[in-house]
Amino acid sequence: MGKVKKKCCRSKPERCRKCPVVAQRLHRMAAEELSGKALKKAVELARVY
């Protein structure tokens, strides 16, 4: 995922990729093991407001 910001900017319609909320959701989904299309789908789902 890379570097995570300290605070969420709450950008609409989707959260930014470096948002701490997105990072936490990806961690819960165990996205570290995913790659390719599965990882893209996981990030897309994590960014939904």
- Segment 32-44, tens digit of pLDDT: 888 899 989 999 9
Q: Per the domain annotation, does 44 fall within a domain?
A: yes
Q: Per the domain annotation, does 1 fall within a domain?
A: no
Q: Per the domain annotation, does 37 fall within a domain?
A: yes
Q: Per the domain annotation, does 45 fall within a domain?
A: yes
Residue 41: its pLDDT value, please?
A: 92
Structural domain total, the chain: 1
Q: Give the N- to C-terminal CA distance of the chain in Å, as an integer.
A: 19
CA distances to 9, 15, 47, 49 from 12, rounded to whole Å, are 9, 6, 10, 8
Q: Per the domain annotation, does 17 fall within a domain?
A: yes
Print the domain residue range for 16.
Answer: 10-49
- Segment 9-26, tens digit of pLDDT: 888 888 988 999 999 998
Q: What is the pTM of this model?
A: 0.78
